[in-house]
């Protein structure tokens, strides 16, 4: 965050706000060269020609397009256009840079490259980036703080770990990563709290984990739970499907209650899979893996 | 394929012949398809043009027509006048002032059409898509009526006893009617009215393709409204602006009906002057030479247009 951020912007027209945007469509001016595009904001704010040229050159170097200054946007590839759009938005040294799904038009390989590039640019310039994305992986790997929005409202703000490990809403838990949802009623019994599941069974919860009394949903990440032979406690279920991913195996279960449940286990034992389709299993959910949701 | 025909000539030869035959067929078809247009162009444009060109180098007949005798007198007379009595040569002020009036009136009309047409086109292009058709339809309504009728309607409006003067005198803004009819103002007004759609439509076409996210990008990069107009919208609308200007300028400079009706007899434009040479003036070669001059002016205008358009494309490539 830049130092002087206490300016009220609501009353200012867009062209007076110290914020620049990288548009989803890039919105590069087709009638101007790459260098003229990058220098546009500087020209509008009245930066002297000599300084403007120097800063444009610096920006071109920053996005590694030094040789392309005199080309037109239409002569560049998608990735290069993306970098020009970035350089153009950064040239005026905004306090905040908005990136509106900037990578959605690129193919996977280019997207990965640009993610690293954006990280580098952010560190080098020290400007706050607000990065809008629908890609949960992008959100997790690139940000320091994530705000998950649904229907125009921010549901949760937090670090990637907070968002992933402690989602507060069903939408947040569902949006980032795979999740199991279990519904029931919270009961208080002497030393601890537990969730009595609707279809039978009980999940121990952490103390003071929040959540209302009455109907409650918990979110459980598939990789946080253990699978064992039945009779060891936990929730009983049956294996419905086994999907092998190489590094790990996903077991799709049906719990006693009939609710579906997914468990992911690392393949530490090589190709031997401890459970097959139709096997009865017990699911052990550690208290800190059960995240009580607010809705 | 090419390498094969070079090394093993005998087996490849029939294929080559077949290729050539197909090519010949293609060429023949192309000429057949072009034929109707070529015929019309030859008889309606190239032929008459050649006749006019030839006439401009002939001696004038006493009662109109031409005498088949080569002379450059007509071309000389475009710019110079020869005194009837002593043969002294001076500039043909009348011709030059008519040429100048044609040029300047056409230019003023074009500029006015741009000033009125650009905001109109921008207005239509920024309407919701389903209402744009209606606005465009309204723009084309004047085309439904005959040019002469529309011109006489304007005459009704601006003549001394016309609506405008009656109203102005009625509310006491002026005691005498303002002379508008039979002035250059009247000619400009008439041409502006008639040719305005030719300015609006091409500009609309180029503004309609304009990506308004570029306008947003302009605001995002600290450009104010005027700068966005000047640096983003106008450059992107430039092809339409140039096309519209040419489309207005060319018929304006050769305009005949409008200056005839609204300019009266004395405020001639080159179109009227050419007609005069073939009629009362009985100087066909001079009329022919003036026609060529008019065409040259139009050519220059078109050349500027082509330059502007291809220059843009070269910069893009």
Q: Model confidence over B129-179: pLDDT tens digits?
A: 899 999 999 988 888 888 889 899 999 988 888 888 888 888 888 888 888
- Residue B16 confidence (pLDDT): 67
A213 or B280, higher pLDDT: B280
Q: What pLDDT sits at residue A190?
A: 67
pLDDT at B230 over 70: yes
Q: Which residue has the higher pLDDT, B3 or B266?
A: B266
DSSP state of A102: T
> Which phi-psi region, left, alpha or beta, contains residue B100 (left: φ > 0; alpha: ψ -120 to 50)?
alpha
The pLDDT of residue B5 is above 60: no
Query: For the segment A233-285, what is each residue's pLDDT rounded down to a tens digit?
Result: 788 889 999 998 888 889 999 988 888 999 998 888 766 778 889 889 999 89
SS3 content of chain B, % helix, strand, coil (to 5): 75, 5, 20
**Which residue from B minimizes the CA distance to A18?**
B222
| Sign, Cα dihedral of B173, B179, B181, B185 | negative
Residues of chain A scoring pLDDT < 50: 1-4
Task: Determine the distance from the C-alpha atom of residue A166 to the mean position of all C-alpha atoms in its chain, rounded to a whole number.
Answer: 14
Which chain A residues contact residue B224 at CB under 8 A? 15, 44
Does residue A148 contact residue A175 with C-beta atoms inside 8 Å?
yes
Compute the mean pLDDT over every residue in chain B, rounded to the nearest whole number: 86
Whether residue A92 and residue B221 make contact (CB cut-off 8 A), yes or no, is yes
The answer to whether the predicted template modeling score (pTM) of the entire model surpasses 0.90 is: no
Q: Which of A34, A23, A36 is nearest to B219 (CA)?
A: A23
Q: Is residue B247 within 8 Å of residue B202, measured between CB atoms?
A: yes
Residues near A213 by Cβ (< 8 Å), separated by ≥ 6?
Answer: A185, A186
CA neighbours closer than 13 Å in the CB half-sphere of residue B183: 10
Prediction ipTM score: 0.72
Q: Determine the pLDDT at residue B311.
A: 61
Nearest CB to A44 within list B213, B223, B315: B223
Closest Cα in chain A to B316: A72
- Please judge whether B221 and A16 are an interchain contact, meaning their C-beta atoms are less than 8 angstroms apart: no
Q: Please, which residues 274-293 of chain A have a Cβ atom closer than 8 Å to chain B? A: none
User: What SS3 class is residue A39?
Assistant: helix
The residue of B212, B222, B308, B315 whose CB has the most chain A CBs within 10 angstroms, and thus the best one to mutate to test that interface, is B222
Sort out which chain B residues have CB atoms less than 8 A from A9's CB and list them: none
The tokens 């009819």 sit on which residue? Answer: B181
Contact B236 A13 (CB under 8 A): no
Residue entry with tokens 């009220």:
A8
Query: Which residue spans within chain B are E strands per DSSP?
Result: 58-60, 66-70, 80-82, 89-91
Of the listed ranges A211-215, A257-261, B71-75, B108-112, the least confidently predicted one is A211-215
Which of B221, B224, B316 is nearest residue A74 as measured by Cβ atoms?
A: B316
Contacts of B51 (CB under 8 A, 6+ apart): none
What per-residue confidence (pLDDT) applies to A273? Answer: 74
**B211 to chain A: nearest residue by CA?**
A27
What gap in Å lies between CA B247 and CA A254, rounded to an integer? 75
A241 contacts chain B (CB < 8 A): no
Q: Which residues contact A106 (CB under 8 A, 6 or more apart)?
A: A78, A79, A82, A114
Q: Does B232 touch chain A (CB under 8 A)?
A: yes
Interchain CB distance below 8 Å, B227 and A44:
yes
- B211 CB neighbours in chain A (<8 A) are 25, 27
CB contact at 8 A, B305 and B242: yes
- CA dist B316 and A69 (Å) reads 14
Q: Are B245 and B200 in contact (CB under 8 A)?
A: no
Q: What is the pLDDT of residues B7-51, one digit of tens each?
A: 444 454 566 676 777 777 888 888 899 999 999 999 998 999 999
Closest residue, chain A, to B226 (C-alpha): A44
CB contact under 8 A, A27 and B211: yes
- Rounded to a whole number, what is the distance in Å from the CA of B242 to chain A's nearest CA? 16
pLDDT of residue A6: 59
How far is residue A181's CA from residue A171's CA, in Å, rounded to a whole number?
A: 11
* Section B204-214 average pLDDT: 91
| CA B317 to each of CA A28, A30, A79: distance values in angstroms, whole numbers, following the listed order | 17, 12, 20
Residues in B touching A72 (Cβ below 8 Å): 315-316
What is the interface size between A and B, counted as CB pairs within 8 Å?
58
pLDDT band at B317 (very low <50, low <70, confident <90, very high): very low
Residue by residue, DSSP assigns B206-224 as HHHT--HHHHHHHHHTT--
CB proximity A41 to B under 8 Å: yes
Chain A partners of B316 at a C-beta cutoff of 8 Å?
A: 72, 74
Q: What percent of chain B has pLDDT over 70?
A: 92
């Amino acid at each position: 965050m830049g130092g002087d951020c206490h300016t009220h912007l609501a009353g200012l027209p867009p062209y007076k706000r110290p914020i620049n945007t990288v548009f989803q469509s890039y919105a590069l001016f087709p009638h101007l060269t790459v260098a003229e595009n990058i220098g546009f904001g500087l020209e509008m704010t009245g930066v002297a020609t000599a300084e403007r040229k120097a800063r444009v050159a610096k920006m071109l170097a920053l996005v590694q397009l030094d040789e392309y200054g005199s080309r037109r946007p239409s002569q560049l590839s998608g990735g290069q256009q993306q970098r020009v759009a970035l350089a153009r938005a950064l040239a005026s040294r905004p306090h905040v840079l908005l990136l509106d799904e900037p990578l959605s038009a690129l193919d996977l390989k280019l997207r990965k490259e640009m993610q690293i590039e954006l990280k580098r640019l952010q560190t080098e310039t020290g400007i706050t980036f607000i990065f809008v994305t629908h890609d949960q992986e992008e959100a997790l790997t690139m940000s320091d703080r994530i705000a998950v929005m649904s229907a125009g409202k921010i549901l949760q703000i937090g670090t990637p770990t907070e968002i992933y490990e402690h989602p507060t809403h069903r939408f947040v838990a569902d949006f980032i990563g795979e999740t199991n949802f279990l519904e029931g009623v919270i009961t208080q019994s002497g030393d601890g709290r537990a969730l009595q599941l609707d279809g039978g069974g009980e999940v121990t919860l952490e103390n003071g984990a929040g959540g209302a009394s009455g109907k409650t949903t918990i979110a459980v990440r598939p990789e946080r739970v253990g699978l064992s032979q039945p009779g060891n406690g936990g929730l009983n279920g049956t294996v419905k499907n086994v999907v092998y991913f190489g590094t790990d195996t996903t077991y799709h279960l049906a719990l006693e209650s009939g609710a579906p449940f997914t468990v992911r286990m690392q393949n530490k034992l090589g190709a031997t899979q401890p459970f097959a389709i139709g096997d009865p299993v017990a699911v052990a959910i550690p208290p800190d893996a059960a995240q009580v949701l607010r809705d | 394929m090419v390498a094969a025909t070079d090394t093993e000539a005998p087996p490849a030869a029939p294929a080559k012949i077949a290729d050539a035959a197909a090519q010949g067929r293609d060429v023949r078809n192309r000429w057949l398809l072009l034929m109707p247009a070529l015929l019309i162009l030859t008889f309606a444009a190239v032929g008459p043009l050649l006749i006019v060109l030839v006439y401009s180098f002939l001696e004038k007949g006493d009662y109109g027509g031409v005498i088949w005798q080569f002379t450059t007198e007509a071309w000389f007379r475009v710019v110079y006048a020869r005194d009837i009595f002593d043969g002294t040569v001076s500039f043909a002020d009348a011709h030059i002032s008519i040429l100048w009036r044609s040029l300047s009136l056409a230019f003023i009309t074009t500029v006015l059409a741009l000033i009125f047409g650009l905001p109109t086109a921008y207005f239509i292009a920024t309407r919701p898509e389903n209402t744009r058709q209606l606005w465009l339809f309204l723009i084309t309504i004047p085309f439904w009526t005959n040019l002469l009728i529309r011109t006489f309607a304007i005459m009704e409006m601006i003549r001394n006893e016309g609506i405008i003067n009656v109203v102005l005198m009625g509310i006491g803004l002026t005691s005498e009617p303002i002379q508008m009819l039979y002035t250059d103002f009247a000619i400009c007004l008439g041409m502006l009215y008639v040719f305005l759609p030719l300015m609006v439509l091409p500009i609309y076409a180029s503004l309609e393709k304009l990506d308004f996210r570029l306008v947003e990008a302009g605001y995002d990069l600290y450009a104010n409204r005027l700068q966005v107009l000047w640096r983003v919208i106008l450059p992107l609308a430039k092809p339409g602006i140039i096309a519209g200007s040419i489309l207005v300028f060319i018929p304006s400079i050769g305009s005949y009906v409008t200056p005839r009706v609204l300019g009266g007899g004395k405020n001639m434009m080159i179109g009227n002057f050419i007609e005069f040479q073939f009629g009362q003036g009985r100087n066909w070669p001079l009329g022919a030479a003036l026609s060529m001059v008019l065409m040259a002016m139009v050519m220059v205008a078109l050349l500027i247009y082509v330059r502007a358009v291809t220059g843009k494309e070269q910069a893009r490539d």
